[in-house]
């Protein structure tokens, strides 16, 4: 049989075909191998569609008997919109299963492996486990807490500026970094920006990737006072839009948003006129959003960190120096009073993306 790591990488590459489609289910890929020959491949494209294992087994047909199934996630063992994959695996006569990780869904979480073991099908777990866990990080957070995985995206110069003294910020990062952001958008169910970003940049917040087949993410505008009008691209109908606001915003502003086909969610203001981001994240989780990307400016970024809703930070560092006392930093807001109060993060990786550096860090906070 071919190298297990290579086969698992193929399974995870297949899983990416579900980008923008699989959620709120996890992206999963599967490969059926008979001897040294791949006889079946599959992936999951979303609720109600065949799971990766069933697609791969169907392609393999009779060649599945005695073969090895390589799958990026533990096969499901419960009835949902589709029947259990463990049944299909047993019926197909699979001789061995190689899985990356167990399913964090409490309805599965080891039961699939147990059922296969009871049917005398050996299971090997843990091949490329870290990569597979990253693939379903949003699903794992949502299925265990009801909340989405929240990623805060920021971009700045080498000296930490998000914009120059005149307020200009386009484009502080390079073309490759911007393309990488579109891949992050595609992996997200919702994209959140603040009213300041909308007024300054008129963003579309759509996914612009060649060959992208997924659904457009929900565009979320955080506007506690009703500053944003409906003439911008966020109200062009190209993707669904939600405006998160408070009772401070006028009735006419809320009516205008609704007339422009946007959904409006009204929250009790926290800290003056601020939309409570913890409440917004909870609402998104209840709507089935498993991954949320915050793309707002420095003020919204700090508010999200201050309220403790951020799980992960992605910072693009451009090889530029801006300087200037009036130039805006990547974080604004009140900040912390002393270095001892600084929010610690765990840097997971640093990589080159075109001319920029991409820093990915997990945020340390009580969950």
Contact predicate 68/97, CB 8 Å: yes
User: How high is the pLDDT of residue 365?
Assistant: 64
Choosing from 53, 74, 295, 306, which is the catalytic residue? 53
Task: Give the residue among 343, 339, 350, 347 at the shortest CA–CA distance from 365.
Answer: 343
Strands (E), the chain: 29-34, 37-43, 68-71, 96-99, 123-125, 149-157, 190-194, 218-222, 241-246, 263-267, 291-294, 312-318, 345-353, 356-363
Q: Mark whether 53 is an active-site residue.
A: yes
User: How high is the pLDDT of residue 1?
Assistant: 58
Instruction: Per-residue pLDDT tens, the chain, 367 aa: give them.
Output: 568 999 999 999 999 999 999 999 999 999 999 998 999 999 999 998 999 999 999 999 999 999 999 999 999 987 666 788 999 999 999 999 999 999 999 888 899 999 999 999 999 999 999 999 999 999 999 999 999 999 999 999 999 999 888 777 778 899 999 999 999 999 999 999 999 999 988 999 999 999 899 999 999 999 999 999 999 999 999 999 999 999 999 999 999 999 999 999 999 987 788 999 999 999 999 999 999 999 988 999 999 999 999 999 999 999 999 998 888 899 998 888 999 989 999 999 999 999 999 999 999 765 4
Handedness of CA 93, 99, 103, 108 (dihedral sign): positive
Helices of type H across 93-211: 111-118, 129-135, 137-145, 175-186, 195-201
Helices of type H across 152-267: 175-186, 195-201, 251-259
Bridge partners (DSSP) listed for residue 187: none
To which H or E segment does residue 298 belong?
helix 298-306
Omega before 248 within 30 of 0, i.e. cis = no
Q: How far, in Å, CA of 189 to CA of 46, rounded?
A: 13
């Amino acid at each position: 049989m071919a190298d297990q790591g290579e086969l698992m990488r193929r399974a995870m590459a297949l899983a990416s075909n579900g980008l923008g489609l699989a959620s709120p289910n996890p992206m999963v890929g599967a490969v059926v191998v008979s001897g040294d020959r791949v006889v079946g491949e599959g992936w999951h494209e979303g609720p109600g569609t065949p799971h990766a294992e069933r697609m791969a087994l169907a392609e393999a047909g009779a060649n599945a008997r005695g073969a090895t199934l390589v799958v990026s996630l533990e096969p499901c063992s419960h009835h949902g919109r589709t029947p259990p994959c463990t049944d299909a695996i047993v019926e197909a006569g699979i001789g061995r299963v190689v899985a990356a990780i167990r399913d964090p869904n409490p309805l599965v979480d080891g039961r699939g492996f147990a059922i296969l073991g009871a049917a005398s099908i050996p299971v090997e777990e843990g091949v490329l486990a870290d990569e597979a866990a990253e693939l379903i990080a949003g699903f794992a957070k949502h299925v265990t807490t009801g909340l989405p995985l929240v990623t805060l995206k920021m971009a700045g110069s080498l000296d930490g500026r998000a914009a120059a003294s005149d307020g200009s910020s386009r484009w502080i990062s390079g073309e490759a970094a911007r393309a990488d952001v579109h891949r992050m958008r595609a992996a997200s169910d919702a994209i959140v920006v603040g009213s300041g970003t909308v007024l300054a940049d008129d963003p579309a917040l759509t996914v612009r990737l060649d060959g992208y087949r997924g659904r457009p993410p929900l565009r979320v505008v955080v506007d506690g006072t009703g500053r944003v009008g409906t003439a911008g691209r966020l109200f062009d109908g190209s993707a669904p839009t939600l405006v998160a606001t408070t009772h401070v915003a006028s009735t006419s502003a809320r009516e205008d948003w609704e007339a422009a086909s946007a959904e409006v969610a009204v929250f009790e203001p926290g800290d003056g006129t601020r939309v409570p981001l913890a409440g917004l994240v909870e609402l998104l989780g209840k709507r089935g959003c498993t991954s949320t990307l915050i793309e707002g400016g420095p003020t919204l970024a700090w508010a999200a960190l201050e309220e403790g809703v951020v799980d992960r930070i992605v910072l693009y560092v451009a090889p530029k120096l801006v300087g200037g006392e009036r130039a805006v930093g990547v974080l604004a807001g009140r900040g912390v009073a002393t270095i001892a109060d600084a929010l610690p993060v765990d840097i997971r990786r640093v990589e080159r993306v075109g001319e920029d550096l991409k820093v990915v860090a997990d945020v340390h906070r009580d969950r």
